[in-house]
Amino acid sequence: MESLWQYQFRIIMLGDSTVGKSSLLKRYTEDVFIEFINQTVGVDFYVQFFEVEPGVRIKLQFWDTAGQERFRSVTRSYYRNSVGGLLVFDVTNRASFEHVRDWHDEVQERVKPQQVLFVLVGHKSDRAEERTVGSEEAEKLAGQLGVPYIETSAKSGANVAEAFERLTRRVYAALRSGEVQIRQGWDGIKCSAARALELSPPREKSAEEGKTCAC
């Protein structure tokens, strides 16, 4: 039977409390918008599938982390097994924008010698009259961090799919180029058994055959 997916990417949602990380995930994975969502306690999980190119289906496993400081120790434990991250701030909340670099640097420091690929997301773009962070300023920060920037609204749905898919394509391109690699004992990227066999040279089957493995 053909695998439902060829690769699995683990993606972590990062940003201050109330910036709308859970709302973005709800809109992307369930196509719903809930005005008021209870704050995430610890980490929540979401799954979505995306065909990054014909015949290559990615299983996206999202870790939605709490932004409150009292849950930071729980959040930190998930950094190392992530290959990608959405750095989310609220365009109407300047403090959340000012904390983006802190989130970015903390992750990068803790995953060394590995790396996490990011996309910077300015959320709640539908509230234009309440903005305290301009697009040019956010673009400048993205350039300094070396990451793409996109503005989204879970309420209207604007650019939500594009944000997640841009990150997925970025990770996939890095995998294809060798910038990131599948490694035993690391869950950031996994490949299906079928994909592993397709990419591997002929060999004798082992007891591990059929399990998700490094390709």
The CATH code of the domain that includes 169 is 3.40.50.300
Residue 82 lies inside a defined structural domain of this protein: yes
What is the model's pLDDT at position 42?
A: 55
Residue 68 lies inside a defined structural domain of this protein: yes
What is the rounded average pLDDT for all residues in the chain? Answer: 85
Residue 1 lies inside a defined structural domain of this protein: no
What is the model's pLDDT at position 215?
A: 58
Structural domain count of the chain: 1
Residue 100 lies inside a defined structural domain of this protein: yes
Instruction: Calculate what percentage of the chain has a pLDDT beyond 70.
Output: 80
Contact of 67 with 107, CB cutoff 8 Å: no
Residue 110 lies inside a defined structural domain of this protein: yes
Q: What's the pLDDT tens digit per position in 54-104? A: 999 999 999 987 644 544 555 677 788 999 999 999 999 999 999 999 999
* Domain extent at residue 143: 7-199
What DSSP element (H or E) covers 12?
A: strand 7-14
Residue 69 lies inside a defined structural domain of this protein: yes
What is the model's pLDDT at position 66?
A: 64
What is the model's pLDDT at position 79?
A: 87
Residue 194 lies inside a defined structural domain of this protein: yes
Give the pair of three-digit tokens for residue 13.
């949602």
pLDDT level of residue 194 (50, 70, 90 thresholds): low
Q: Is the pLDDT of residue 27 over 90?
A: yes
Q: Is the pLDDT of residue 134 over 50?
A: yes
Q: Worst-scoring range by mean pLDDT, 153-157, 163-167, 199-203?
A: 199-203
